[in-house]
A and B are shown apart, each in its own frame.
Chain A
Amino acid sequence: QQQVKQSPQSLIVQKGGISIINCAYENTAFDYFPWYQQFPGKGPALLIAIRPDVSEKKEGRFTISFNKSAKQFSLHIMDSQPGDSATYFCAAWKNTDKLIFGTGTRLQVFP
């Protein structure tokens, strides 16, 4: 079964808008939650990450919100730009050696 559930599968946002991608997990052994960005033909690249003892982390236009009790976390992209068009994956680390990914969200930002 999918250990990290991600939604939506695809997202279309106008330039300047806010993009929101949500993830949920079941396993409380997960202890670190990164988001990856992937452009076509490339490998995923780390975008931003959060530990479960923090409720929010912001880096530039990208923010992770984390709700430990609900076992949910989300990525917010403020002032979305066409260059943000990519596939985004949430993920969860277990014991430093196993990184489990969500199914991905394809984001398209139109001018």
Chain B
Amino acid sequence: NAGVTQTPKFQVLKTGQSMTLQCAQDMNHEYMSWYRQDPGMGLRLIHYSVGAGITDQGEVPNGYNVSRSTTEDFPLRLLSAAPSQTSVYFCASSYETGGYYEQYFGPGTRLTVT
């Protein structure tokens, strides 16, 4: 199993450009989510999905779109990049078993918006 994979690893965008961060998992997990990590802020939830065709907003959804057409993939779209979106982005997938939850994170995408 590859686990949770993210591409690209690094990206530089200019203000106003759009792009899609890719996330895929091969563990057949129903739940997937996107976080951004900024110094002193911890990880903040952007969007999440409880299954194919279902998405919902997290703590900081503005400026981002997601879709979940398959169980495996959960891409994050930046519609019009802004310097405030400079961050490290983590995708995660998770499952529940017997009332316990396990969440696995990808290696991250470091995004710089100039």
Residues of A within 8 A of B (CB): 6, 9, 32, 34, 41-46, 49, 51, 89, 93, 96-104
Contacts and interface: CB of A to CB of B under 8 A. Distances in A.
B45 to A, nearest CB: 6
A43 B33 contact: no
Contact of B40 (A32, A51, A101, A103): A103
B61 interface: no
Contact of A103 (B41, B101, B102): B41
B42 A101 contact: yes
B50 A103 contact: no
A100 B4 CA distance: 19
Given A44-B105, A100-B45, A49 B40 contact: no
Interface centre among B40, B48, B105, by most chain A C-beta atoms within 10 angstroms, is B105
Contacts, number: 62
Contacts of A46: 102-104
Contacts of A44: 43, 90, 105
A97 B103 contact: no
Given A9-B40, A45-B105, A96-B31, 19 more contacts: A42-B107, A46-B102, A46-B103, A49-B100, A49-B101, A96-B96, A97-B48, A97-B50, A97-B56, A99-B33, A99-B45, A99-B92, A99-B94, A100-B59, A101-B43, A101-B44, A101-B45, A103-B40, A104-B42
Interface residues of B, number: 29
B42 A32 contact: no
Contacts of A45: 105
A42 B61 CA distance: 23
Contacts of A100: 45, 59
27 contacts: A32-B100, A32-B101, A34-B103, A43-B4, A43-B90, A43-B106, A44-B90, A44-B105, A45-B105, A46-B102, A49-B100, A93-B101, A96-B50, A96-B96, A96-B101, A97-B56, A99-B101, A99-B103, A100-B45, A100-B59, A101-B43, A101-B44, A101-B45, A102-B42, A103-B40, A103-B41, A104-B42
